[in-house]
Structure 1
Amino acid sequence: MLSYQHIYHAGNAADLHKHALLAWVMDYLTAKDKPLSYLETHAGRGLYDLSSDEARKTGEAAAGIGRAEAQNWLADGHPLMRAIGAIRARYGADAYAGSPLIARHFLRKGDSAHLAELHPAEHEALAEVAGHATLYKQDGFAMARSVTPPTPRRGLMLVDPSYEVKSDYAEIPAFIGDIARKWNVGTLILWYPLLSDGRERRMHKKLQGAFPDALTSEVQFPPAKPGHGMVGSGMFTVNPPWGMAEEAARIEGLFRG
């Protein structure tokens, strides 16, 4: 299915949770003078204009990055705010970075990036801002299986599907297991929604059973509108870097405050 476009939801509370942790991990990994690979299975367009009609239609950014900035959740020195500041300096005050551009902010010469996006319009927009990343106009799960283990072997993969395809919930545990076997040193980060009907819980239980040492970070927030099914955000990380658990707990506390 190719109907999902993230511009309607860019900068929302789920993005804030996901991107704050992603930026922290990227900052941690690039602090060491060793090359790395960044892989993303469902990259989107990479750059979003929060003043666009689509973003303004839902107003979800106000409850995410807007709230975080208004309440000073993240200091200017936080990796996410550094990345957003650089994006705004280049693209304007209403620009918001998707995960590919957040990753690009931290990547260095010698690092590699592999980004998959199947939606034609999203892929075209991504190509304009992706820099030297290798782009794939194909299914992101297939890309990941074909690229892993990457060169360099050190690095991370972000798995962030729209979950429009309902079978994703059933198939993702096996996919993560396959990638972990092929790339046992990689940090694998899966984002998933917390839903009012709880359909994601079976997937999460299977993942926990397969990876008992993985890190789970979940935050809850009000639905974007009455009757909306997403009521929170989850991040499941295989091979989390040292210190990520503490940073995740800190971010979770901001949502509860």
Structure 2
Amino acid sequence: MLSYQHAYHAGGPADLHKHAALAALLARLTAKDRGVTYMETHAGRALYDLSGAEAAKTGEAAAGIGRLEGLPPSPFHDAVMSARAANGPSAYPGSPAIAAHLLRKQDRIVLMEKHPQEASALKRAMKTTGAEVHARDGYEGVLAVSPPKPRRGLVLIDPSYEVKDEYGRVADFVPQLAAKWPEAAILVWYPLLPTGRHEAMASALEGAGAARHEVGFEPLRPGGMEGSGLVLWNPPFGAAADLGAGRILAPQVLSA
């Protein structure tokens, strides 16, 4: 299914949760000189304009980053400020742009995006970063190029979950990838919806020793997203404690 476009949801509360955690994790992985490989299964377009019609239609950006007058100092804050310095005050970095800001010359970025329009925009946004962009199915693509060099790394799995069996596909994919690339930390994002479809997937992944972190927020529409969840498989040293102690920017601050 190729109808989903993240521009309608960029900068919302779920993005803040996911991207702040991602930035903190990348900062931890790059604390030492050894190179890392960063991959994504569903990369999106990397850069979003929050003054656009898409953001205005859903109101998610206004309910997310738009309600924060000033972000606290953090790797996520640095990535947002860098995107705005280069692209204007309404710019918002997607996960590929956050990674490109935080990673170094010795690191590698490999991005998968199946949606034709999003893949084209992704290639344009990342053309000066050295990132490898593949217009292909993310699950198949990441498995095909794993294990990479450098072997130490992180994979972000961030599908739209528009298709009901996506939860099962993620639950099956994570252990497959871990078996092929055991050095990788694997970060899975999922929405908290009234139907609770995420629960079986998240519980299965958490049961393998992964760290799990969820935050709730007011849905913008009846039956809409009630929160955001993350499961971190094979967490680097200290990363699980970061999640458990809330040492990331959590969307609860938006309702304070």
**Fold equivalence (TM over 0.5):** yes
Give the corresponding residue for 2:114.
118
- AA partner of residue 227 (structure 2): G
Structure 1: how far apart are the matches of 2:136 and 2:164?
A: 19
Which of the residues 95, 100, 103 maps onto 1:107?
A: 103
Q: Alpha-carbon deviations, 1:92-122, whole Å to 9, x = none?
A: 1100000000000011112111101111111
Asked if the contact 1:219–1:252 (Cα under 8 Å) also holds between the matched residues in 2, the reply is no
The TM-score with structure 2 as length reference comes to 0.93
Q: Where does the alignment leave 5 or more consecutive residues of structure 2 unmatched?
A: none
Between Structure 1 and Structure 2, how many residues are aligned? Answer: 250
Q: Alpha-carbon deviations, 1:146-201, whole Å to 9, x = none?
A: 01111100110000001112111112111001011111111100001111011111
Q: Alpha-carbon deviations, 1:223-254, whole Å to 9, x = none?
A: 122x1331111110012123323432324766
Give the corresponding residue for 1:191.
189
Give the corresponding residue for 1:53.
53
Give the corresponding residue for 1:4.
4
Q: Where does the alignment leave 5 or more consecutive residues of structure 1 unmatched?
A: none
Seen in structure 2, the aligned counterparts of structure 1 residues 237 and 102 have a Cα distance that, compared at 3 Å, is same
Q: Alpha-carbon deviations, 1:205-226, whole Å to 9, x = none?
A: 22123x1x2100100111122x
Structure 1: how far apart are the matches of 2:8 and 2:56?
A: 8
Structure 1: how far apart are the matches of 2:163 and 2:150?
A: 31
Give the corresponding residue for 2:38.
38
Secondary structure of 1:32's match?
coil
Give the corresponding residue for 1:136.
134
* Range 200-209 or range 110-119, more displaced: 200-209
Asked if the contact 1:217–1:252 (Cα under 8 Å) also holds between the matched residues in 2, the reply is no
Structure 2: how far apart are the matches of 1:52 and 1:169?
A: 30
Seen in structure 2, the aligned counterparts of structure 1 residues 132 and 253 have a Cα distance that, compared at 3 Å, is closer
Secondary structure of 1:230's match?
coil
Give the corresponding residue for 1:255.
252
Structure 1 segment 165-176 matched on structure 2, within 5 A: 165-176=163-174
Asked if the contact 1:180–1:186 (Cα under 8 Å) also holds between the matched residues in 2, the reply is yes
Structure 1: how far apart are the matches of 2:112 and 2:40?
A: 6
Structure 1: how far apart are the matches of 2:241 and 2:74?
A: 14
1:87 aligns with 2:115: no
- AA partner of residue 243 (structure 1): G
% same residue: 50
Structure 1: how far apart are the matches of 2:125 and 2:92?
A: 12
Give the corresponding residue for 1:201.
199
Structure 1: how far apart are the matches of 2:149 and 2:64?
A: 35
The TM-score with structure 1 as length reference comes to 0.93
Structure 1 segment 215-254 matched on structure 2, within 5 A: 215-225=211-221, 227-248=222-243, 249-250=245-246, 251=248
